[in-house]
Structure 1
Amino acid sequence: MSPKWLIVDQELVALLREGNKEAFAEIYRRYWTVMYMHALKMLKSEDDARDVVQEIFTSLWLKSQSINPDVNLAGYLFISTKNRVLDLIAQKRVRTDYLGSLAAFAEAHNNETLADIEEKELMQALQREIEQLPAKMRQIFEMRIHQHCTYKEIADELNLSDKTVKKQISNAIKIIRPKLHHLSTIVLILSGL
C-alpha cells in the first residue's frame, strides 16, 4: 500500500471492499471530523452528531463489500450522514409528538375525571337538599330538574296552575341556594330554572 496521503479515495474504496482494515482506518481518519462537523451543524448536539458519525462508519464497514467501486466516497459519506441526521430528527419529532399527545391525553382525561368527580359530588349535594324539601315541592322540583318538564307539563300532570308550579320551584330554589352557595355550579344550575 502506498503512503496514506497519496492514496486516492477510489483506491481506498477498492481496498475497503476487500476488507482492508487499514483502508477503513484511513477513510475514518480523513472523513470523521468533516462528517462530525456536518452532523453537528444540523443537529446542534455533540452527542447526537458523534453517534450519527459512528453509525455511518459502522455501516460503511459492515456494507464495505457491497459498496459500488466507482462511488464518490466523500459524496457517499455526506449523503449517508445527512440521511441519518434526517432520520434522527424525524424520530425525535415523532417521539416528541407522541409524548406531547400522550401528555395532552393524560391531562384531558385527568381533567375530565376531576370534572366528573366534582359534578357527581355537586349533584349528590343538590339531591340531599332536594330530599329535605316538603313532599309536594320536592315532587315538582324533581320533575323540573330530573325529567326536564316545563312548568305547563308539571301543572297539567299534577292538576295545578302554572303559577303554583312556578312559585313552588321558586320557593325550592330559595331554600336550596343558600345551603349550597359555596358550590357555584349548583347556583348556576338553579339560576337556569
Structure 2
Amino acid sequence: MAKYTNLPAEELVSLIKSDDKQAFAEFYDRYKGPLYFQAFRMLGDDEQAKDVVQEMFIRLWETRHSISVKTTVEAYVFRSIRHKVIDFIRHQKTITRYLDSLECYLEKGTAALDESYIEKETLALFRLALASLPARMREVFDLSRNQGLSHKQIAEELCISEHTVKKQINKAIKHLRLRINLSLLSLTLL
C-alpha cells in the first residue's frame, strides 16, 4: 500500500473508479480523520459523527463509478460530509416529529373511527417495539420522551453521563424506527 501514499487525491479517485480497493483504503485513511472532525463539529456527538463518516465512505464506494469531482477532491469530500450530516439531522427531526405526534395522540386520543383503528394498530406496534428495548435504554427513553426530562436531568437521576443518555436515546430511536418499519412492511406484504 506504500505505493498509494504519495499519490495525489485525484489519482486515488481515478483508481477507486476502476475498483481499486487499495486506493480506496488509502483514500479512507487519508480523509477519515478530517471528515470525522468536520462531522463532530456539526453534530457534537462522537458516535453520530463516526456513523455519518462511515455512511459517507460506504456511499462513496457504492457510487464509485459515477464520481464526478468538479472542484478539488478535498472540497468534494467535505461537501459530501456536510450533506450527509444535514441528511442525518433531517432524519432525526422526522423521527422526533413522529414520536411527538404519537405522544400527542396518546394524550388527546381523538380521531375518526377508521383513523382510530389505524392509530391503535400503529400504537400497538410502537408499544411492542418499545417493550423490546433493553431495560435501561427503555428507562432513559421514557424519562426523555414521556416525562420530558432533559439529558442533564436524566443523567443526574440515573447517575450516568449526559453522553450516555444521548447515546441511549439515539439507539432507542434507531431501534424503534427499525422495528416499526419492519412490522409495517410485514403487514403490507400480507
TM-score, normalised by the number of residues in structure 2: 0.53
Aligned twin of 2:78: 78
Whichever residue aligns with residue 43 of structure 1, its letter is L
SS in 2 for 1:68: coil
Count of residues paired in the alignment: 110
Structure 2: gaps of 5 or more residues: 111-190
Aligned twin of 1:158: none
Aligned twin of 2:27: 27
Aligned twin of 2:57: 57
SS in 2 for 1:7: coil
Aligned twin of 1:94: 94
Could you list the per-position Cα deviations for residues 131-179 of structure 1 after superposition, in whole angstroms to 9, with x for gaps in the alignment? xxxxxxxxxxxxxxxxxxxxxxxxxxxxxxxxxxxxxxxxxxxxxxxxx
Aligned twin of 2:38: 38
Change (3 A) 1:33 1:61: same
Change (3 A) 1:70 1:7: farther
**Contact 2:69/2:76 (<8 A) preserved:** no
Bigger Rg over Cα: 1
Percent of aligned positions that are identical: 36
> Whole-Å Cα distance in 2 between the matches of residues 107 and 70 of structure 1?
52
SS in 1 for 2:12: helix
* 1:102 Cα offset (Å): 1.5
Could you list the per-position Cα deviations for residues 11-40 of structure 1 after superposition, in whole angstroms to 9, with x for gaps in the alignment? 111111111111101100000011111111
CA RMSD of aligned residues (A): 2.0
Whichever residue aligns with residue 14 of structure 2, its letter is A
Describe how 1:135-150 pairs up with structure 2 within 5 A.
Answer: none
**Contact 2:16/2:24 (<8 A) preserved:** yes
Whichever residue aligns with residue 11 of structure 2, its letter is E
> Whole-Å Cα distance in 2 between the matches of residues 84 and 71 of structure 1?
19
Aligned twin of 2:48: 48
Change (3 A) 1:17 1:108: same
SS in 2 for 1:3: helix
**Contact 1:14/1:69 (<8 A) preserved:** no
> Whole-Å Cα distance in 2 between the matches of residues 76 and 46 of structure 1?
23
> Whole-Å Cα distance in 1 between the matches of residues 85 and 63 of structure 2?
19
* 1:71 Cα offset (Å): 5.1
Change (3 A) 1:49 1:69: closer
> Whole-Å Cα distance in 1 between the matches of residues 20 and 71 of structure 2?
17
> Whole-Å Cα distance in 2 between the matches of residues 69 and 39 of structure 1?
21
> Whole-Å Cα distance in 2 between the matches of residues 35 and 48 of structure 1?
12
TM-score, normalised by the number of residues in structure 1: 0.52
SS in 2 for 1:25: helix
